[in-house]
Each structure stands twice: as structure tokens, then as C-alpha cells.
A = this chain, B = another copy of it.
Amino acid sequence: ALLGQQETNLSDGSQQRVTQLLKTAEPGGLYGAAGDLSDALPYRDRPGGLRAIAQVHDRYILAEQPDGLCLIEQHIAHERVLYERLNDRWQLVPLTTPVVLEGLNEKQLEQFERLGLAPEEFGPNRWAIRQAPEPLRDRDDLPDALLELSLGGNLDTAQVAIACRTAIRNGTPLDLATLQTLLDDWQRTRNPRTCPHGRPICLTLSESSLARFFRRSWVVGKSHGI
């Protein structure tokens, strides 16, 4: 279903070609033997082995490792880090200023109770929320975040939503030290393969595949022709 949803986004022939290239790299094994390039992810054997060397388009971390290179999407790598932290330590903290929400329905109120947020009646059709999950405490978008949490799901769904909201956005310029810290944190997660929504975090190009693309082995033996 997940891949099915993607398909809708295709348009022209050139996109189709590119798609073909990357299809074989997608995790999930849907494409048979050619399906799972990401099995070759290096950090399983060599935790900490990735070295950040550049940020691309304020969106990807380019990392070098002994056998090739990786492109990591910064937002979802950070999302994975934050999500696992929330899993390990879910903490509600008191707010200095309560958030007042209007027009909540029964299901939303139940969802708040389920998350332990205990809305308090605050005049007609209004409720005060006096505590919040720790990562949301100081955010300007706290009311929106709380409304999002009220819309359904369980505690895990809430943690995914909070991780997504608070992770570094794509489009944010980051210096090399920050990129390296993010890489290190991400490599230490229990499931670095995907973000909590199931998206792949890392595209690996191994040196052997690059050597093949650039036909290095071919040229050494054969190409001079003299």
C-alpha cells in the first residue's frame, strides 16, 4: 500500500527513468533480488563510522564511510532520534501559561485524557491544558501541536507526531559539527533504517557500485587500446 501510494506521483518519461534507478534501492524487498540496496548500510558493523563531509541543498547530509558514501535526509534522521528518545522517556511538564482550546468534541477530550493531558473546563465550550509533552513546552506552535495530538491515535502516534514536529526541518542550513552530531545520534538509534513513518533515511552508494558505474575496473585492463 505504501509503495502504491507513491506511484501516483509519477509524471513524465525522465522521471520514470530516474524512478527506475532508485526503485531498486528502496528497502522492503518488493522488487525481488534487486530490491534492497540499503541492506548494505554500513553503520551496523561500524557504529560511528560515518563522517559528515557536506550538507546538500540544506536537506541531505553527505557522509563518507570507508566503503562508499551515504546521503541522509536530515529531517527524518532527526525524527528517528527524537522519536526513540520520546519512547524511552515520555514526560509531561507543567506549562507556565495554560493553553486554552475551544470547541473540543468528545473524542478529542477522550484522547487528551488518554495521553494524560487532563483538560480542565474553562468557561463555556473552552478547556485549559496545563501541561504538555516536554519537547513541545516552549514552542510557539504549542496550541496547534496539542490540537494535532487530540485528533486520534495512541501514545505511539502522539510520539511520532511530536518527533516530526520538533525535528530539524529540511531547508535548514547546518554546520559540519551539527551534521556530525546528528549523524552520530542517528547511528546509535535502535532502528536507523527508517523514520517512524516508515520512510528510508539513508541512500548508500558503495564504492564497488560507483567503481562499476564509472567503469573503473574496465578501463584499467582494457581501454588504452595501444
Given contacts A56-B53, A56-B69, A200-B214, contact A18 B222 (CB under 8 A): no
Mark each residue of chain A from 22 to 47: 1 if its CB lies under 8 Å from any CB of chain B, else 0: 10111000000111110110000000
In the assembled complex, which residues on chain B have CB atoms less than 8 Å from the CB atom of A37? 17-18, 21
Task: Tell me if A5 and B200 are in contact (CB < 8 A).
Answer: no
In the assembled complex, which residues on chain B have CB atoms less than 8 Å from the CB atom of A177? none
Mark each residue of chain A from 104 to 123: 1 if its CB lies under 8 Å from any CB of chain B, else 0: 00000000000000000000
Q: How many residues of A contact B (CB 8 A)?
A: 71
Given contacts A9-B217, A214-B73, A225-B157, contact A39 B14 (CB under 8 A): yes
Task: Tell me if A212 and B19 are in contact (CB < 8 A).
Answer: yes
Task: Tell me the number of copies of this protein.
Answer: 2
Given contacts A37-B18, A57-B64, A209-B22, contact A199 B217 (CB under 8 A): no
Mark each residue of chain A from 184 to 226: 1 if its CB lies under 8 Å from any CB of chain B, else 0: 0000000000000111110101111110111111110111111
Q: Give residues in A with beta carbon < 8 Å to B.
A: 2, 5-6, 9, 13-22, 24-26, 33-37, 39-40, 53-54, 56-57, 60, 62, 64, 69, 71, 73, 76, 148-149, 151-153, 157-158, 160-161, 164, 197-201, 203, 205-210, 212-219, 221-226
